[in-house]
């Protein structure tokens, strides 16, 4: 709870930094730089080439989260509840309890607003911290990914959902691909922080998929900025190893028993 309060207290003071991690070694490095580490179900497309996150199961999420837990020391750790694991409030509670117990994470994230408000309410009533997620919802998309907040109906739904989520106790809300002015308005309206992804600088924080920003995962999504070409460095190391094995430079006596 202390970590969650710390996140909420950042609102209007300093930006919240959030990134994904799917395993221990990356989590260790991510943890040094962020406030929130998210085990996102984006791991389905990033690691397993699934066409949609709908194919990601609870077992996969728990296994990756267990590994991430080993690397996260200081940040708040949030785990995505995968598709179909929170269809009813009792199912949501059963699965969220399992996720918390087995992964020792701090909170879970669920996609949706009013459609899943019963589940969110029930989790919070049972003392499970919840992060909301509105705007583009990858678990619900059929077909192309499109930005949200383009017409009056969408704008009203986004604003209503954000208010409803706050009223029911989520500690922050991810805004995915929400039009700049709407993300700004929602952020200004709420007392809890918004974490944007493709939703402009006006959000209280930002989240990206770590593999995307490091250039480990190839993607052409508009909101992704590639901050590093890590594959270049990986290839430098691997090339050197292969060359030394072939030239018998490695292993030398130093590396042999």
User: Catalytic positions, please?
Assistant: 176
Is 112 a binding residue for ligand KIV by CB under 6 A? The answer is no
Residue with tokens 């207290």: 9
Least distance to ligand KIV, CB of residue 207, Å: 5
Instruction: Compute how many residues bind ligand KIV; rule: CB under 6 A.
Output: 11
Least distance to ligand KIV, CB of residue 148, Å: 14
Is 199 a binding residue for ligand KIV by CB under 6 A? The answer is no
Least distance to ligand KIV, CB of residue 203, Å: 12
Is 103 a binding residue for ligand KIV by CB under 6 A? The answer is no
Among 34, 37, 40, 61, binds ligand KIV (CB under 6 A): 40
Least distance to ligand KIV, CB of residue 64, Å: 11
Interatomic CA distance for residues 175 and 213, integer angstroms: 18
H, E, C per residue of the chain: CHHHHHHHHCCCCCCEEEEECCCHHHHHHHHCCCCEEEECCCHHHHHHCCCCHHHCCHHHHHHHHHHHHHHCCCCEEEEECCCCCCCCHHHHHHHHHHHHHHHCCCEEECCECHHHHHHHHHHHHCCCCEEEEEECCCCCCCCCCCCECCCHHHHHHHHHHHHHHHHCCCCEEEEECECHHHHHHHHHHCCCCEEEECCCCCCCEEEECHHHHCCCCCCCCCCCCCCCCHHHHHHHHHHHHHHHHHCCCCCCHHHCC
Position of minimal CB gap to ligand KIV: 40
Is 174 a binding residue for ligand KIV by CB under 6 A? The answer is yes
Q: Which is nearer to ligand KIV, 31 or 176 (CB)?
A: 176
Q: Which is nearer to ligand KIV, 166 or 176 (CB)?
A: 176
Is 85 a binding residue for ligand KIV by CB under 6 A? The answer is no
Least distance to ligand KIV, CB of residue 8, Å: 18
Is 61 a binding residue for ligand KIV by CB under 6 A? The answer is no
Among 209, 211, 214, 215, binds ligand KIV (CB under 6 A): 209
The contact set with ligand KIV (CB under 6 A) reads: 20, 38, 40-42, 80, 174, 176, 197, 207, 209
């Amino acid at each position: 709870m202390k970590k969650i309060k710390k996140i909420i207290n950042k609102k209007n003071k300093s930006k919240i930094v959030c990134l994904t991690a799917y395993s221990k070694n990356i989590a260790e490095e991510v943890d040094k730089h962020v406030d929130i580490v998210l085990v996102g179900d984006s791991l389905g497309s990033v690691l397993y080439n699934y066409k949609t996150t709908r194919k990601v199961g609870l077992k996969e999420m728990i296994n990756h989260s267990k590994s991430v837990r080993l690397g996260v020391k200081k940040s708040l750790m949030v785990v995505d509840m995968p598709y179909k694991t929170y269809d009813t409030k009792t199912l949501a509670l059963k699965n969220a309890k399992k996720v918390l117990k087995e992964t020792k994470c701090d909170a879970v994230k669920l996609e949706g607003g009013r459609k899943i408000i019963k589940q969110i309410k029930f989790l919070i009533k049972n003392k499970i911290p919840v992060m909301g997620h509105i705007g583009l919802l990858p678990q619900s998309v059929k077909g192309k990914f499109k930005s949200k907040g383009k017409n009056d109906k969408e704008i009203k739904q986004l604003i209503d959902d954000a208010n409803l989520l706050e009223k029911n106790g989520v500690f922050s809300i991810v805004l995915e691909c929400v039009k700049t002015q709407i993300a700004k308005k929602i952020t200004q309206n709420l007392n809890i922080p918004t974490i944007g992804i493709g939703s402009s600088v006006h959000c209280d924080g930002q989240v990206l998929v770590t593999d995307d920003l490091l250039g480990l995962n190839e993607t052409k999504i508009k909101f992704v900025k590639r901050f590093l070409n890590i594959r270049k460095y990986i290839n430098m190391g691997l090339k050197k190893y292969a060359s030394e094995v072939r030239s018998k430079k490695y292993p030398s006596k130093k590396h042999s028993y």
